[in-house]
């Protein structure tokens, strides 16, 4: 009878073996997928520090299915870091980590967490510096921070995997060979590592958060000061210019008899007194130039204005600014002030403004060495800029050709798209960009850029 019972038990066991094998295979596939998703759905514990979870599942595969499958799981999970950071350094480190821990579990020790700590202390840390500096081309100053964050991230994940293995029946759930563990020893080591890592992690988060907030506030405050300075300067300039032009227009419209020679003398005096004025024109209601500071005769001046598509400006009954345009390859803006008589348009005083002279007002300002300022028209084209790589009438390029990370309604962080470049290096080349309209009558936008000195959104 005993023999019959034993044979019955074997038959039952053999009957369930295919089912157990399928459960084990499905469990493996689930862990492989979860490893990749753990890195894909990263959690930014700070604006510039994403926390990865993929190696939790890679370590579970290492312990439950062996180092071959574990190394494959780590390679699959860490492959996303190539897309995330645009270099293979983390892929190499994390895959080698699983290989080393799997080899150690098979040959040397039964303690997964201890092997992972040993890997990062002896192999991972120096190899991280080599791969990030020579393969990823990341500046050493950035590698210093990464060399602390990445090992801390991976060891914490190994700690979580160790806790799962020690305190849950995951081996039974997945129908794999029972994992031999020393629960008491593992618990003591887990507690020891947790007491070291958790305070270090919390202090790091707190310090980085505080430093990030302070630096961001300083940058934004500096940008705001610049915006106010430029806006106030432009408004003062525009109001003063309008006052002078209105004074000329008023003196003309109050006269009973028009003396063009006298007007010619007045506008020449005004043009000589205001540095921004390249030329001044006095036109009649039909746009014909009656007096001008230009060396050309009035007929030539009339033809010149006609060729510049200024008809709307010449017929306006309110002061009007033109769009920026190139006149003889010089960036120029035209400002008109109407001359009214008995409610009818009698003519215009038209000022030809040299845009480059406006830029000179900012050259010696306190912000000039650390910030770039661009004046934009309503079509987002450059009117004036302190940047050497932009030309007048070019589209402002900090709204495109890169990734945009909003800060507030008027401010964003612009990160350039540079192919085959480490993400942390691209962030080094990023800028705070703030755009604000100028209050008052000027239809322009001030764009202030401030270069960043550390990555605010990612690290790797």
| Residue 276: how many other CB atoms lie within 10 Å | 20
**DSSP string for 347-391:** EEEEEEEEHHHHHHTTTTSTTTTTEEEEEE-TTSBEEEES-TT--
What is the reported pLDDT for 367?
A: 63
pLDDT digit string (tens) for 244-262? Answer: 888 888 877 766 556 677 7
Compute the average pLDDT of residues 325-334. Answer: 82
Residue 15 reports pLDDT greater than 80: no
Do 36 and 152 belong together in one domain? yes
Tell me the residue range of the domain where 108 lies.
19-181
Domain membership of residue 194 (yes or no) is no
What is the reported pLDDT for 82?
A: 92
What is the reported pLDDT for 308?
A: 67
Domain membership of residue 59 (yes or no) is yes
The model's pTM = 0.72
CATH number at residue 349: 3.30.450.20
State how many domains the chain has: 3
CATH number at residue 402: 3.30.450
SS3 405: strand
> What is each CA distance from 53 to 59, 81, 82, 444, in whole angstroms?
11, 12, 16, 47
| Residue 438: how many other CB atoms lie within 10 Å | 18
| Cα Rg of the chain (Å, integer) | 36
Residue predicted with more confidence, 102 or 426: 102
Domain membership of residue 300 (yes or no) is yes
Confidence of residue 365 (pLDDT cuts 50, 70, 90): low
CATH number at residue 162: 1.10.1760.20
Q: Which residue has the tokens 């080591």?
A: 189
Do 312 and 289 belong together in one domain? yes
| Whole-angstrom distance, CA of residue 381 vs CA of residue 310 | 19
Domain boundary among 322, 357, 392: 357
Quote the tokens at residue 290.
Answer: 């009656």
Domain boundary among 162, 181, 200: 181
Do 256 and 405 belong together in one domain? no
Do 264 and 412 belong together in one domain? no
Residue predicted with more confidence, 185 or 240: 240
Q: How many CA atoms lie within 13 A of 244 on its CB side?
A: 21
Q: What share of the chain is helix, strand, coil (3-state, %, to 5)?
A: 55, 20, 25
Do 163 and 56 belong together in one domain? yes
**DSSP string for 3-55:** HHHHHHHHHHHHHHHHHHHHHHHHHHHHHHHHHHHHHHS-EEEETTEEEP-HH
Domain membership of residue 90 (yes or no) is yes
Do 429 and 372 belong together in one domain? yes
Domain membership of residue 186 (yes or no) is no
CB of 350 closer than 8 Å to CB of 336: yes
Q: Which of 295, 304, 299 is nearest to 325 (CA)?
A: 304
Residue 194 reports pLDDT greater than 90: no
Residue 420 reports pLDDT greater than 50: yes
What is the reported pLDDT for 276?
A: 78
Compute the average pLDDT of residues 171-180. Answer: 71
pLDDT digit string (tens) for 380-417? Answer: 888 888 888 888 888 888 877 788 888 888 888 888 88
pLDDT over 90, % of the chain? 22
Do 171 and 30 belong together in one domain? yes
What is the reported pLDDT for 46?
A: 64
Domain membership of residue 323 (yes or no) is yes
Domain membership of residue 11 (yes or no) is no
What is the reported pLDDT for 297?
A: 63
What is the reported pLDDT for 80?
A: 94
Do 331 and 376 belong together in one domain? no
Do 124 and 78 belong together in one domain? yes
Domain boundary among 128, 151, 181: 181
What is the reported pLDDT for 4?
A: 45
Compute the average pLDDT of residues 22-32. Answer: 90
Compute the average pLDDT of residues 206-211. Answer: 76
Do 132 and 27 belong together in one domain? yes
Q: Across-strand partners of 382?
A: 376
What phi, psi does 18 have (nearest 5°)?
-60, -40
Confidence of residue 168 (pLDDT cuts 50, 70, 90): confident
Do 169 and 295 belong together in one domain? no
CB of 413 closer than 8 Å to CB of 431: yes
Domain membership of residue 297 (yes or no) is yes
**DSSP string for 96-155:** HHHHHHHHHHHHT-S-HHHHHHHHIIIIIHHHHHHIIIIIS---HHHHHHHHHHHHHHHH
Do 249 and 343 belong together in one domain? yes
Q: Across-strand partners of 178?
A: none
């Amino acid at each position: 009878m005993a023999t019959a019972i034993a044979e019955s038990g074997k038959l039952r066991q053999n009957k369930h073996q295919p089912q157990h094998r399928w459960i084990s295979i499905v469990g493996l596939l689930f862990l492989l997928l979860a490893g990749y998703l753990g890195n894909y759905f990263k959690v930014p514990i700070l604006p510039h520090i994403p926390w990865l979870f993929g190696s939790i599942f890679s370590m579970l595969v290492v312990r439950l299915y062996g180092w071959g499958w574990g190394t494959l799981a780590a390679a699959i999970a860490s492959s996303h870091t190539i897309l995330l950071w645009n270099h293979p350094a983390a892929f190499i480190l994390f895959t080698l980590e699983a290989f080393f821990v799997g080899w150690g579990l098979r040959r040397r020790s039964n303690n997964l967490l201890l092997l992972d700590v040993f890997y990062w202390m002896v192999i991972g840390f120096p190899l991280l510096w080599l791969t990030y500096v020579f393969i990823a081309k990341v500046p050493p100053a950035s590698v210093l921070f990464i060399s602390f964050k990445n090992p801390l991230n991976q060891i914490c994940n190994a700690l979580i995997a160790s806790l799962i293995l020690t305190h849950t029946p995951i081996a039974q759930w997945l129908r794999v060979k029972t994992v031999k563990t020393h629960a008491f020893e593992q618990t003591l080591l887990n507690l020891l590592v947790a007491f070291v890592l958790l305070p270090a992690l919390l202090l790091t988060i707190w310090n980085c958060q505080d430093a990030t907030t302070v630096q961001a506030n300083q940058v934004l405050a500096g940008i705001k000061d610049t915006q106010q300075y430029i806006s106030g300067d432009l408004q003062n300039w525009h109001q003063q210019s309008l006052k002078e032009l209105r004074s000329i227009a008023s003196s003309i419209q109050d006269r009973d008899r028009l003396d063009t020679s006298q007007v010619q003398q007045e506008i020449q005096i005004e043009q000589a007194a205001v540095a921004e004025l390249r030329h001044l024109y006095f036109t009649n209601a039909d746009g014909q130039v009656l007096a001008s500071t230009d060396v050309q005769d009035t007929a030539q001046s009339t033809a010149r204005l006609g060729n510049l598509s200024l008809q709307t400006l010449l017929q306006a009954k309110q002061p009007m600014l033109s769009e920026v345009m190139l006149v003889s390859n010089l960036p120029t803006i035209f400002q008109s002030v109407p001359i009214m008589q008995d409610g009818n348009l009698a003519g215009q005083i038209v000022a030809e403004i040299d845009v480059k002279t406006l830029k000179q007002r900012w050259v010696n300002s306190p912000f000039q060495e650390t910030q770039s300022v661009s004046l934009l028209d309503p079509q987002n084209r450059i009117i004036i800029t302190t940047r050497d790589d932009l030309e007048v009438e070019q589209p402002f390029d900090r709204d495109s050709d890169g990734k945009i990370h909003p800060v507030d309604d008027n401010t964003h962080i612009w990160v350039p798209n540079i192919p085959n470049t480490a993400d942390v290096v691209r962030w080094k080349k990023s800028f705070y960009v703030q755009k604000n309209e100028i209050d008052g009558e000027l239809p322009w936008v001030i764009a202030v850029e401030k270069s960043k000195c550390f990555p605010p959104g990612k690290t790797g």
